[in-house]
A = this chain, B = another copy of it.
């Protein structure tokens, strides 16, 4: 087992009607609140009204920034930070999925500074303070609610940037599975895929002696394999929503990394490129890349792939493991090839160029330019 530091200061408030405690928690930090959300789905499912009622109960002064898009962009982060800065807010309240919470993490460190937020992503600046961030999660997928990481797109730079620091953990995150009940079937499936992919990025990272962390990976994936398909056939089932929501949090709150020095993250880096170029939903990009990546890697890390398959599918061998995983993604309605994504015309040369530009998949099990060509072929 590799040396590690385990630290996660986020308070996770999980369950039915936990939102009723939101006002009192916000009040601890102040009453001038920057409320950040997306394109308005929270107005349809009633969450917006509940949040406003909580804010009303503590007589908060609320400044709203809405319109954060999926695959969030740096321009929104800068604009929201400017709004928070000019109004000297005490708290950033993010209500939404991964895009809204990721953006809000950067907003919370950008409010106290007077330079573009992209500087954090390119390591031109490091945050020294942050406005406290409180999150209300509406989508079980990215795990952002209990980790410090944010991914934001910069179209001018043709890249997605990643950032995380001890200052970008949410102080509190509120997770009520009821607010995920209105998530449509396809995005529910992408969330299941995302949590599986996060678990795998830990499993294929550096630190194969971390056997208890491996067992946790099997546990989280097994939970997704067992209850994900049941949920997709019963989208309003609270118990199933709760299981998947909690599994998604556990898949990327740091625990699966204990005893490892690095996650793999090669698949995510390629997935981000598909999202950047073709606006493929994050979870769907992963169900395309993961099977291709495993096929490419199986001659190098076949034993480890087989170990995974033995524990999560009860099968023998890397080939059978990959087959089962790809079939699972297919069964949940996720694309496993780019050709299965409607309305896009993927260009292998363009993907290759951006992979080179972004040095994709060069963390643990590194891909070279020949591998780039191969994996693009496997994804088409």
Q: Which residues of A contact B (CB under 8 A)?
A: 1-16, 18, 146, 209, 211-212, 215-216, 218-220, 222-223, 226-227, 239, 242-243, 246-247, 250, 255, 258-259
Interface pair A212/B5, CB less than 8 Å apart: no
Assembly CA distance A258 to B243 (angstroms): 11
Interface pair B212/A223, CB less than 8 Å apart: yes
Assembly CA distance A15 to B220 (angstroms): 25
Interface pair A223/B219, CB less than 8 Å apart: no
A11 interface neighbour in B5, B227, B246, Cβ under 8 Å: B5
Of all chain B residues, the one with the shortest Cβ separation from A21 is B5
Interface pair A215/B223, CB less than 8 Å apart: yes
**Which residues of B sit under 8 angstroms from A227, Cβ to Cβ?**
211
What is the count of identical protomers in the complex? 2
A1 interface neighbour in B18, B209, B242, B258, Cβ under 8 Å: B242
Interface pair A4/B8, CB less than 8 Å apart: no
Shortest Cβ gap from A29 to chain B (Å): 16
A16 interface neighbour in B3, B16, B209, Cβ under 8 Å: B3
Of all chain B residues, the one with the shortest Cβ separation from A215 is B219
Interface pair A7/B12, CB less than 8 Å apart: yes
Shortest Cβ gap from A143 to chain B (Å): 13
A2 interface neighbour in B4, B13, B15, B146, Cβ under 8 Å: B15
Assembly CA distance A250 to B250 (angstroms): 14
Interface pair A14/B18, CB less than 8 Å apart: no
Shortest Cβ gap from A93 to chain B (Å): 18
The listed residue with most B CB atoms (<10 A of its CB), out of A3, A10, A212, A255, is: A212
Assembly CA distance A226 to B239 (angstroms): 33
Shortest Cβ gap from A207 to chain B (Å): 11
Shortest Cβ gap from A262 to chain B (Å): 15
A212 interface neighbour in B13, B16, B220, B259, Cβ under 8 Å: B220
Interface pair A12/B3, CB less than 8 Å apart: no
A246 interface neighbour in B146, B239, B250, B258, Cβ under 8 Å: B258
A247 interface neighbour in B14, B212, B220, Cβ under 8 Å: B212
Interface pair A243/B1, CB less than 8 Å apart: yes
**Which residues of B sit under 8 angstroms from A239, Cβ to Cβ?**
1, 209
Shortest Cβ gap from A100 to chain B (Å): 21
Shortest Cβ gap from A9 to chain B (Å): 5
**Which residues of B sit under 8 angstroms from A216, Cβ to Cβ?**
216, 219
Shortest Cβ gap from A196 to chain B (Å): 14
Interface pair B212/A243, CB less than 8 Å apart: yes
Interface pair B4/A14, CB less than 8 Å apart: yes
